[in-house]
């Protein structure tokens, strides 16, 4: 019974391609997040949704577009992938804003 | 800019010793404080959260919060080699959207 799941776990693609990462949580949480962890292991918030509404949108290129079809799902679509997009992307959820977060296993994206 | 600072380490302690991990934050309005553990190649895992000044104990872990001095610490008693990981401090900042900010993490090595 995985609490927060992400697909795919690994993603290798060419520059300029478009890709999506999916996230699902079965914890009944209201808030979901996308984080990027770079090669230096810094974990940076990208987006957050609360009850399907976008509440946090940090300084992220507009090539990145989140979508929350319902409270249990938060997907991330990336257009025109660049080399600098290579990182590990983590999805997380929390019961409400500001509460403890539970992370998915991560999606390792490598752009060639 | 709102920041969360941690010493990157590595902090090296012998097995059985107390490991002390520290974190400072810049926003006095911060309300919620979290410690996560991240093993290499894995996702962050919640260890402790603390909201009020003072100490909070859970097994071998103790979180300490001092809002006046703007620091939060994590003590690990009877350190084990399995505690070797990166420890991330996270702070939910004030401002309505409870934007979570992570420190860069402290690498802990517990040697036998």
B99, pLDDT greater than 90: no
Within 13 Å of residue B96, how many CA atoms lie on the same side as its CB? 2
Q: Check CB contact of B3 with chain A, cutoff 8 Å.
A: no
pLDDT of residue A58: 81
B95, pLDDT greater than 60: no
Nearest residue of chain A to residue B30 (CA atoms):
A98
Choose the closest CB to B86 out of A41, A100, A103.
A41
Averaged pLDDT, B73-89: 97
3-state secondary structure of A84: helix
B6, pLDDT greater than 70: yes
Query: Which residues of chain A have a CB within 8 Å of the CB of B102?
Result: 42-45
Give me the DSSP letters along B10-51: -EEEETTSPEEEEEEES-TT--EEEEEEE-TTS--EEEEEE-
Contact by Cβ (8 Å): B62, A68: no
Express as a percent the part of chain B with pLDDT over 90: 81
pLDDT of residue B73: 97
A53-67, A75-89, B14-28: lowest mean pLDDT where?
A: A53-67
Query: Which residues of chain A have a CB within 8 Å of the CB of B90?
Result: 101
Of B93 and A111, more confident? A111
Averaged pLDDT, B50-67: 95
What Cα–Cα distance (Å) separates residue A1 from each residue in A87, A95, B36, B49, B112?
26, 18, 21, 24, 35
Q: What pLDDT band is residue B97 in, cutting at 50, 70 and 90?
A: low
A1, pLDDT greater than 80: no
Contact B43 A99 (CB under 8 A): no
Average model confidence (pLDDT) across chain B: 92
Contact B100 A100 (CB under 8 A): no
pLDDT of residue A31: 93
Interface of B with A in 5-34 (CB under 8 A): 31-32, 34
Contact A40 B97 (CB under 8 A): no
Interface of A with B (CB under 8 A): 33, 40-45, 48, 55-56, 58, 90, 97-106
Q: What pLDDT band is residue A70 in, cutting at 50, 70 and 90?
A: very high
Q: How far apart are the first and last CA of chain A?
A: 34
* Contacts for B57 with CB less than 8 Å, ≥ 6 apart: none
Average model confidence (pLDDT) across chain A: 93
- The span from the CA of A61 to the CA of A65, in Å, is 9
10 Å CB burial of residue B82 (0-12, 13-18, 19+) is: exposed
Q: How far apart are the first and last CA of chain B?
A: 40
Q: Check CB contact of B1 with chain A, cutoff 8 Å.
A: no
């Amino acid at each position: 019974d995985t609490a927060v799941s992400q697909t795919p776990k690994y993603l290798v693609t060419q520059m300029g391609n478009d890709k999506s990462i999916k996230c699902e949580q079965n914890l009944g949480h209201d808030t979901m997040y996308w984080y990027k962890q770079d090669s230096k292991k810094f974990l940076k918030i990208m987006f957050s949704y609360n009850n399907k509404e976008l509440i946090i949108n940090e300084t992220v290129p507009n090539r990145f577009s989140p979508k929350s079809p319902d409270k249990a799902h938060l997907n991330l679509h990336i257009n025109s992938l660049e080399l600098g997009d290579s990182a590990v992307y983590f999805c997380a959820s929390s019961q409400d804003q500001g509460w403890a977060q539970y992370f998915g296993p991560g999606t390792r994206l490598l752009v060639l | 800019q709102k920041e969360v600072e941690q010493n990157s380490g590595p902090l090296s302690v012998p097995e059985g010793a107390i490991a002390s991990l520290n974190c400072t934050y810049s926003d006095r309005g911060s309300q919620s404080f979290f410690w996560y553990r991240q093993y290499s190649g894995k996702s962050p895992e919640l260890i402790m959260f603390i909201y009020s000044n003072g100490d909070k104990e859970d097994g071998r872990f103790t979180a300490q919060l001092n809002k006046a001095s703007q620091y939060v610490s994590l003590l690990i008693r009877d350190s084990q080699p399995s505690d070797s990981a990166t420890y991330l401090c996270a702070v939910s900042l004030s401002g309505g959207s409870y934007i979570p900010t992570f420190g860069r993490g402290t690498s802990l090595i517990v040697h036998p």
